[in-house]
Chain A
Amino acid sequence: MLILIKTNLNMSDNQRKAYWKENLRYLYILLAIWFVVSYGFGILLVDQLNEIRIGGAKLGFWFAQQGSIYVFVVLIFVYVYLMNKLDKKYGLEE
């Protein structure tokens, strides 16, 4: 049932490992930001951030209801940009 297509015979094991390692590094960094803006600013540190104001809203409240969402959108597009660059570096772009 399984058809295995080795799609990248021209890619050495070392290259694969290096590609995967760089990919994981991007994931750690981007997911750390993802965690900090939502769980950090919006939940765990909400009381501290609420001492600061952004316009007519408390900052912690704003992160929980709007700010984190803006950051999420930016994170995905940054990821797309970084990965496209990485694919190019390893000759994997299509």
Chain B
Amino acid sequence: MSVLTWTYIIVGLTFALYIGIAIWSRAGSTQEFYVAGGGVSPLANGMATAADWMSAASFISMAGLISFMGYDGGVYLMGWTGGYVLLALLLAPYLRKFGKFTVPDFIGDRYYSNVARSVAVVCAIIVSFTYVAGQMRGVGVVFSRFLEVDINTGVYIGMAIVLFYAVLGGMKGITYTQVAQYCVLIFAYMVPAFFISIAMTGNVIPQFGLLGTVTDGSEMALLDKLDQLHQELGFAAYTNGTKSMTDIFCITMALMAGTAGLPHVIVRFFTVPKVRDARVSAGYALLFIAILYTTAPAIAAFARTNLINTVSNQEYTSMPEWFTKWETTKLITFEDKNNDGLIQYVANPNTNELNIDRDIMVLANPEIAGLPNWVIALVAAGGLAAALSTAAGLLLVISTAVSRDLIKMQIKPDISEKNELIAARLGATVAVVIAGYFGIHPPDFVAATVALAFGLAAASFFPAIILGIFDKRMNREGAITGMVVGITLMLFYMLKFKLGKFGGGGPEDWWFGISPEGFGTIAMVVNLVVSLTVSRLTAAPPEEVQAIVEDIRIPSGAGDAIAH
């Protein structure tokens, strides 16, 4: 059977599965819609969190990014996993004990202020939209390549699916769909990885294959071989990278703090019954994530070696089928500058003839390695599972922010449960439409957009939540000023250096040599300093708020997530 037939079958089956689960787990109450009724087992929550967390960027773009960045790619690997340690140790248990539905809930109550709540709502919406745009784009890329439809049509299909189960099932539908999506995506990621690892190193486990030797008989370590290939073509050695140590440090920190501050990840820990479940489900989540994240660097190195061996100094006319297929999507472009009919793939931009979009590395990998057609189709289904699960989680945050944090808590507190549920569903619908718009008119390539969402979360939520738990003296004035200053600074830097507003500027103009991706760390530190300073100059929080802080530090008696 052809790749296309296989893709229709496998993608069709997985979609039928998601829709079936959505119908089975419809939400009947706001509590089910917001936090799945608070009765999810830690193991299921761990899987759902992992799927929620691993986006199109993790599945499609990350190995490709690492493949082109070498050592520097470690920022994503450490940043997107290390954040879970912060989440498990500093946030999840306390927020679960606090027992509300959303991050703005916590901010609003802890800082006894609807202004703080509104600031948190705005931050949550900015962060989530920045993030969801990348997901919809990812859906479009997968559809256009594998189902050979237009990117926009792909985005529409993705929107329809997410809309269906997010609107119908709320958090309950999303949680159980995400469990299924985790299984699909991890299977789809690992199968080609096993095949490629055997082909490249003779070791079936890719994590060990990365430390192995190449199978061409030279007994050379794979990474040494890759370093050598890189240097021959004028690139920096794969295991050294090119970014400055300061920038690497800041990007890693921004991604970690951002991970811990992302509203759609935090909200997952409201769905388990007890504080100890929140702790252990963070552990399961990271374990499930780590399976993919320790495979990614291996795939990156394999794909890079494979790619260079396949194209470098080979005749253009003898390129395999996948090469021409991806050329038609313009994600691979070749220009024979010296008219010798050979592909020169080198670091020097004047003589380099080949451009490869990094987003395609994982998707093209099975084809590059010559794997069977069903594996290629499986990867398409996995990419879709990753993008859809994250998009759904984000859309829920946006719709909850509107129906609960805005309407229920501020505009119309006497809204009936039924109407609140309708508002939540309408909110989700509007959010899907806006996300689809961003998917059709994407701001930048997938991973870069996503990386910036972390900077925004690190600069706004992370300090406010941490201080809310660990600093009893932190008050309304401090937290609000900190969040506003933090997110404004980050947005300014992002707009200036990423989108060329406010005079723009290149890498040579970066403050302290820190890239927009890493600037979240600086904005976070500024937020912390501002919050602490302002809070000490203004009145201490009221007694009952200090009592809340005392209370969330003690794990027992968490009870159900309560509504008032």
Interface, chain A (partner B; CB < 8 A): 1-8, 11, 16, 19-20, 23, 27, 30-31, 34, 38-39, 42-44, 46, 50, 54-58, 61-62, 64-66, 68-70, 72-73, 75-77, 79-80, 83-84, 87, 92-94
Contacts and interface: CB of A to CB of B under 8 A. Distances in A.
Contacts of A42: 74, 78, 252
A84 B283 CA distance: 14
Contacts of A1: 109, 564
Contacts of A46: 71
A93 B275 CA distance: 10
Interface residues of B, number: 59
B233 interface: no
Nearest to A79: B89
Given A5-B557, A42-B74, A61-B71, A76 B84 contact: yes
Contact of A8 (B93, B211, B222, B557): B557
Contacts, number: 161
A64 B77 contact: yes
6 contacts: A57-B223, A65-B66, A66-B210, A66-B294, A76-B84, A76-B85
Nearest to B74: A64
A79 to B, nearest CB: 6
B232 to A, nearest CB: 19
The 3 closest A-B pairs by CB, nearest first: A56-B221, A55-B211, A7-B557
Contacts of A75: 85
Interface centre among B66, B222, B283 (most CB of A within 10 A): B283
Contacts of A34: 82, 85-86
B212 A56 contact: yes
B43 to A, nearest CB: 13
At the interface, is chain B mostly helix, strand, loop or mixed? helix
Contact of B89 (A6, A16, A31, A73): A31
Given A61-B71, A66-B207, A75-B85, A92 B221 contact: no
Contact of A43 (B89, B245, B548, B562): B245
Interface in B201-223: 207-208, 210-213, 221-223
A87 B77 CA distance: 33
B77 A83 contact: no
A79 B279 contact: yes
Contacts of B223: 56-58, 61
A70 B88 CA distance: 15
A89 to B, nearest CB: 12
Contacts of A5: 551, 557, 559
B157 interface: no
Given A76-B283, A79-B89, A2 B77 contact: no
Contact of B239 (A11, A57, A69): A57
